[in-house]
Amino acid sequence: MINTTDLPAFPRDHANDGHNGMTLRDYFAAKAMQALIPIHRAEPDFDMMKSAYRYADEMLKARES
């Protein structure tokens, strides 16, 4: 089974050169942060960041089903 948390967000033909950029999990978490910051406050905190990664993990799970 492929580890979906390590997939690149923007795959390239030369993806094995060690410069793959952010993972799909990081990309999903960044998108979740964009939604969470206006809801909670202007200053992000550690709990909000952890929540963003929980959302990202759930989005990755949804892709598998």
pTM over 0.85: no
Question: What is the number of alpha carbons within 13 Å of residue 1 lying toward its C-beta?
Answer: 4
Mean pLDDT, residues 41-63:
86
Mean pLDDT, residues 30-54:
83
Burial annotation 29-49 (CB, 10 A radius, 16+ → b, else e): beebbeebeeeeeeeeeeebe
The pLDDT assigned to 3 comes to: 65
The pLDDT assigned to 6 comes to: 72
